[in-house]
Structure 1
């Protein structure tokens, strides 16, 4: 990956492209673009589909977020397709955020991190991680990511309905579970902020489906980059996300997957043109909030 602090690199890319939109890639071999998914080998078809989607929307987005599980289910050929997808995104000048949601004890967390950040592995710019085993696991990821120039996005308050089952539970000390996680993420991220952007290398995943939490999250995480899934198919609206961008445009990344890739199913027309139009619409809407 390019040199420099990950948050500074991302902020520069956001400014250059005038976009805060992250393209989510969640390929389903049964629902690929018709022109790209004809190969009988599902991994080959998935790779062709992902390349076509990236080519269509790259000018409107700043990053890609491949959902690792969608590639892993195809076995070793799927991992090869993921690596090739990452290379293709890099060739388009895009930031690569691997959506793996990894989390385990220190030894295993370190091994996961090497697999995603090392040049001999996926060589991603950032990785989503699960912080619910505690700060020591996050530090193990950071210990590998930081020397490699990478960043982390920790799950803080997610977009799925079941998030309320645990993350919104009150604590005896006051506040909720997700607010305590936010404090830990802020503690770790503030150890390593970008000298140019002032943003931390440990960001927070906060569901766009619950925008009422964003103002409080920004109080707890003043220097974190927010990754905001749930726009489009899950019901989140870009217009409701303004608190995320308080420290600057690069402090909020709006991720959209199905609403971009399957835009043609709603609007008709060629998949590539429909995807580009939806990505541009999201880009313009989010940019206006900054």
Structure 2
């Protein structure tokens, strides 16, 4: 049981097969990114907030906002991706709001992906993974549950041994990883596109690490790996090469909408099957009501944009 009060599905079902089943059931590959900014929340959430300290009030508003967004778009999406940093900056109340957000998403039948982008040596990697997708051994044989997310994002630049530590915890607890491979930010070109002595790019080497680690644990039904790749939708020209290097990986595709990426350009991601690509949208959903001609209701505008993205992505499969 996670501290959020919602148990993650357990048993012998591979995490990629669980995700594939949700994709098929909902006919969607859309992931709701939750990056709550206390200064840019839906008005009703702000009005409903209470608490005895500034952090507590902000965390209450953030939780109300996240619940409202999930309720608005839940039928059109398969997963939520809370940005852990946006909750952590509010201190202990923020962490409690994150746990409650995870519980709300799980109650809606959604896959939960903790966007933490952690990366450290093996001991620290294990601790990070235990806190987000696993559990920690406590005193007297007790177990301390973590957040209970189905998967987490991780950074690869300390090497294969660190990724292996994250994966080991995930496999013990039926969870997965998404490794940063070629990201959506402009600065990705500074390091990820740098050329190696063999002529390939740094991100190609990372993709090879991800492919080897994922090949150790493929799902029996979908054939997908429990180690996926984060690939920015803002640079779709990389997707065909990425799919060659990562034939079994699920691609997490941020950058659609506010960052300029287009769903229609992402077809190579879905080559192994519809569940092999997950399109993430954050600001383009939460702030859809700010666009010209959009419904004035934040919930109605978010729902309309989520349905539009779902239809566009499903057509590519």
Structure 1 counterpart of 2:102: 86
Where do residues 272-287 of structure 1 align in structure 2 (5 Å cutoff)?
272-287=299-314
Structure 2 counterpart of 1:64: 80
Q: Distance in 1 between matches of 2:25 and 2:295?
A: 31
Shift of 1:117: 1.4
Q: What RMSD over aligned residues (CA atoms) do the two structures have, in Å?
A: 0.7
Where do residues 192-231 of structure 1 align in structure 2 (5 Å cutoff)?
192-231=217-256
Q: Does 1:174 align with 2:199?
A: yes
Structure 2 counterpart of 1:136: 161
Structure 2 counterpart of 1:28: 37
Q: Does 1:191 align with 2:207?
A: no
SS in 2 for 1:192: coil
Structure 1 counterpart of 2:4: none
Number of residues of Structure 1 aligned to a counterpart in Structure 2: 290
Give per-residue Cα distances to partners, 1:227-254, cap 9 Å, x unaligned. Answer: 0000000000000000000000000000
Q: Distance in 1 between matches of 2:264 and 2:157?
A: 30
TM-score when normalising by structure 1 = 0.99
Structure 2 counterpart of 1:15: 24
Unaligned regions of 5+ residues in structure 2, if any? 1-7, 51-56, 136-144
Q: Distance in 2 between matches of 1:164 and 1:275?
A: 32
Shift of 1:174: 2.4
TM-score when normalising by structure 2 = 0.91
Greater Rg over alpha carbons, structure: 2
Find runs of 4+ consecutive structure 1 residues off by over 6 angstroms: none
Shift of 1:118: 2.6
Q: Which moved further from structure 2: 260-269 or 142-151?
A: 260-269
SS in 1 for 2:38: coil
Q: Distance in 1 between matches of 2:171 and 2:299?
A: 36
